[in-house]
Amino acid sequence: ANEFIAKLQANPAKIASRKASQNAIEAFGPLLPEFLGGSADLAPSNLTLWSGSKAINEDAAGNYIHYGVREFGMTAIANGIALHGGFLPYTSTFLMFVEYARNAVRMAALMKQRQVMVYTHDSIGLGEDGPTHQ
């Protein structure tokens, strides 16, 4: 992990923050077997899938949850996972949609939960997804 961070600091890449986030997930994923991620139906846009991602299926084997369009549910579930312990959950959606998850985000902060929340597409200059996504 320290080697990865040192490389980035020595030669910072000029890439989108979501790509930088994906690079970090790719670097740390193999080092953190407790890493359990998911996205609110935006994984291809948020770049939260990594080479070791395996969708959780009926037998619960895997490390990636496809939540669908449910930001509040995703964040509340991540809170529960963090409270249970044993996992380091990460979630992702567009920054605009954090409004739907606000109460769960607030509770995570109040409870000082150990989890990663990735919010992308935070610019008014991003127009390809339309005004509802900005």
Q: Catalytic positions, please?
A: 71
Strand 64-66's sheet: what is its strand order? Answer: 64-66, 35-39, 88-94, 116-120
Single-letter amino acid code for the residue at 49: L
Burial of 27 (0-12, 13-18, 19+ CB in 10 A): middle
Residues in CB range of 83: below 8 A, 6 or more apart: 111, 113
